[in-house]
Structure 1
Amino acid sequence: MLDTITVLDVTQVVSGSFASMTLADMGADVVKIERPTGGDVGRHNPPYVGDFSSYFASVNRNKRSVSLNLKSDEGAALFLELAEEADVVVENFRPGAMERFGIDYETVAERNPEIVYCSISGFGQDGPYAEYPALDIIAQAMSGNMSITGPPDSKPYRSGVPIADIAGSMYAVQGVLGALFRRERTGEGQYIDVSMLDCMLSWLTVRAGYTFATDEPYPRMGNKLDEFVPYGVFETADSHLAIVVVQDHHWEKLCAAIDRPELATDDRFRTTEQRRTNRDELESILEDELTARSTDEWFDVMADYGVPSGPIYDTKEVWDDEHVKHRELRSEIRAGDEELSVTDHPVKYGDDTTGITRGVPRVGEDTYETLERMGYTEEEVAALIERGVVGSPETAHPDR
């Protein structure tokens, strides 16, 4: 799908690395530029399988690795040489860093006007906070997302998934694809500025709509929802079940599923507004009924009656679900001598052109091959390594 596109990946940890991996899953040739010693700092985050970080593998499959000292003039010059033939650059350094390295958009675009150059940062490239450091939890906090996550009588919670990192990466992929489409028509490259805070603000969607309409903050309600009742997590005989009722016909089906059809016409619960008014009483009735069976039993019953529901899996249990197995989202890849599990690309295309074609590279694994393709001789590569301009698997620090 993107098999004619070459991406230079100058990213670390999750934000940006997930974006370039997504482009690689769609067929792009992604070259990860890493420090000669140590590489991406994400390589050193546990847990490990052998000497490979599973954390790093989760966002860096399908890539080649070239170790390059961007802080050296020669290293920057080599990067610009690579960028002349590239289509996309993705980076997630703090604003100003790429300019200090001498490989910012303006410098790259002088040599390659068709380049699509995407910068991902916490607060964007301009504004009062542009140069402030910001990781995932900061964007979650400042966007309002944490204020509505967690029980109402506790402090705010962050999402268990690094959603600001992922949101930034997903919007980066959209931006890159849009810019490549535009380039097809105009022949012009483009600069893309992605702010993780902006992305999280965008994700507020209907919660922002609530505030815009009422001029009030959206309430933190834990697993419940202000608009709909019942909506949330309910105890069963052996665990918990999530149940959602957003329309009156869902309520009628739920009443039939628990063998309490009379509740559907009860004046306390018949309409959405009545159910909201009598939330506590309704939830108490449901809790009494649902503890009579196991979660698996209720899941089957709810499915039969057309009631939206689902068991609450942990990150181990989910991979045993028959539907998840059918969708084949868990895949195995090679990382050196190790085999690691990763989540596969989730979008299914009719021509089956996406997916995993490469494992996870060691730091600088593809440096020799890349420089040779650029015309460097073995002696010239050895000299670059000697001067600390580039690295190789032999000169890089171990992954762990």
Structure 2
Amino acid sequence: MKGALEGIRIIDVSRVLAGPFCSMILGDLGADVIKIEHYKTGDETRGWGPPFLNGESAYYLCANRNKQSISLNLKAEEGKEIFRKLVSTGDVVVQNFKAGTLKKMDLGYESLKEINPSLIMASITGFGSTGPYKDLPGYDYIIQAMSGLMSITGEPDGTPMKVGVAIADVLTGLYTCIGILSSLQHRNKTGEGQEIDISLMDCQVASLINVASNYLSSGIVPERLGNQHPNIVPYQVFSAKDGEMVVAVGNDEQFKRFSAALGRQDLSEMKEFIHNENRLENKSKLIPILEELLAKKTKKEWKGILDKAGIPNGPINTVQDMFDDQQISSREMIVEMDHPSIETLRLTGSPIKLSKSPVKMRHHPPMFGEHTETILEQLGYHPDQIDRFRKNQII
């Protein structure tokens, strides 16, 4: 079966996470992804370790499968010409240089669309191409701070906390992927390419969802609630007999079943707890009662009881616990790939399960410049020219 994006070529000149994560998704879906790396250093994440697997960093490996790698000096005129040739064969360019950098190199969207009028260029920056911050660099950590995310993350009496993964980068990669797929659909209808201006800041702000809406509706500045929910009770971490678990009671009917499962049906009949707004108002009374009840059994015991009652719940797993869970293996969320230098390469699988055009793990995360000669030959360059490029530090 063919991949959904087979026949689409992505020229990926991005580095680190947001751009590479986006292009990996497109590669998983069948697109031909050519990863252009700095001719000397490659993608910075190749050196972000430990851990390393025979010289390859786990960070780099996580976002670069289903790609080919070419090393290229984009500051040299011959390097720019090679890039332009690649663009003429492509459908999408993904780039995350600082705003205006490619334009100064005469490789911006306006220049490249002269070569390829149907080209789609996804430009990822920290703050976008407009506004007073457009020239500032954007790193995930800074975006988590400036977007308000850290101000609502952590315990009420603790310090602001960042999320445990580079969530602004991940969300930006997903939003960029959506923008590219939308642009491809637009091009299918009109024949027109376009530029996608997408920023980490915008993506993180949009991802505040209900918290942002609560503020815009009320003017009340959201505060850190730890593991509690601002609008729903009970919806938080509880300590079972042998460790922590999460219980998420989303509506009044669930609270009735939850109370019955705890052996306290009367809780759901009390005036101060009968509706969610009552429970929210009186959570200081309700939560200690629930804490005492849930501390009497183990996580596994409560899992069985609450699952049977239809109450959303789950243990707080370590990453090891999660990967040991049969649900994860049954969903093929661990994949193994052949690799030239790594005996057993295990990666996180794709969450996209398509019935007609399934995701395929076609190519291992490429070694630095692994496909440089092959790609140049496909562009029509003679082996003697390729040798000269290498001697002149073009590749």
TM-score by length of 1: 0.95
Query: 1: distance between equivalents of 2:184 and 2:145?
Result: 33
Q: Where in structure 2 are the equivalents of 1:174-185 lying within 5 Å?
A: 174-185=178-189
Q: Distance in 1 between matches of 2:240 and 2:330?
A: 26
Per-residue deviation, residues 266-318 of structure 1 (Å, max 9, x unmatched): 22322222212221221111111111111111111111001111111122210
* 1:381 and 2:386 aligned: yes
Match of 1:6 among 6, 9, 26: 9
The secondary structure found in structure 2 opposite 1:150 is coil
Shift of 1:352: 4.1
Alpha-carbon shift at residue 10 of structure 1 (Å): 0.5
By how many angstroms is 1:7 displaced? Answer: 0.4
Q: Who is 2:100 aligned against?
A: 96
Give the aligned partner of residue 396 of structure 1.
Answer: none
- The residue identity in structure 2 corresponding to 1:32 is K
Residue of structure 2 in register with 1:34 after alignment: 37
The one-character-per-residue Cα deviations of 1:172-201 (angstroms, maximum 9, x if unpaired) are 111111111111111111111001100111
Q: Which amino acid aligns with 1:350?
A: S
Residue 335 of structure 1: how far off its partner (Å): 3.5
Which secondary structure state, in structure 1, belongs to the residue aligned with residue 18 of structure 2?
A: coil
Q: 1:354 aligns with which of 359, 362, 370?
A: 359
3-state SS of paired residue (2:232) = coil
Q: Name whichever of 46-55 and 80-89 sits farther off.
A: 46-55
Deviation of 1:336 after TM superposition, in Å, equals: 2.5
Q: Give 1:116's match in structure 2, choosing from 117, 120, 137.
A: 120
**Partner AA of 2:113 in structure 1:** A
Q: Which residue of 2 aligns with 1:371?
A: 376
Distance 1:94 1:163 in 2: 20
Kindly indicate whether the alpha-carbon contact (under 8 Å) linking 1:344 and 1:355 is maintained by their aligned counterparts in 2: no
Q: 1:52, 1:335 within 8 Å by CA — same for their partners in 2? A: no
Is 1:105 equivalent to 2:102 in the alignment?
no
Q: What's the CA shift string for 1:364-400, capped at 9, x where partnerless? A: 100111111111111111011110001xxxxxxxxxx
Match of 2:173 in 1: 169
CA distance in 2, matches of 1:173, 1:322: 30
Cα shift at 1:320 = 1.0
Matched, 1:287 2:269: no
1:394 maps to which residue?
Answer: none
CA distance in structure 1 between the partners assigned to 2:338 and 2:124 by the alignment: 28
- What CA distance in whole angstroms lies between the structure 1 residues aligned with 2:135 and 2:357? 42
Q: 2:357, 2:286 → 1: CA distance?
A: 47
The 5 A counterparts of 1:214-229 are 214-229=218-233
In 2, the alpha carbon distance for the partners of 1:120 and 1:28 equals: 19
Map 1:52-201; keep pairs closer than 5 Å: 52-201=56-205
Post-superposition Cα deviations, 1:246-265, rounded to whole Å, max 9, x if no partner, equal 21111111111111112121
Distance 1:388 1:366 in 2: 16
Q: Which residue of 2 aligns with 1:19?
A: 22
Give SS of 1:16's match.
Answer: helix
**3-state DSSP class of the match of 2:180?**
helix
1:239 aligns with 2:239: no
Percent identical pairs in the alignment equals 37
**Corresponding residue number in structure 1 for 2:327:** 323
The CA distance in 1 between the partners of 2:86 and 2:191, in whole Å, is 19
Other structure's SS at 2:186 match: helix
In 2, Cα distance between equivalents of 1:319 and 1:106: 46
Aligned length: 390
- The answer to whether residue 40 in structure 2 is matched with residue 43 in structure 1 is no
3-state SS of paired residue (1:316): helix
Query: 1:56 deviation in Å?
Result: 0.2
The one-letter code of the counterpart of 1:384 is F
Q: Does the Cα contact within 8 Å between 1:345 and 1:355 map onto a contact in 2?
A: no
Name the SS for the 1:67 alignment partner: strand
- CA-atom RMSD in angstroms: 1.1
CA distance in 2, matches of 1:330, 1:367: 29
1:341 aligns with 2:349: no
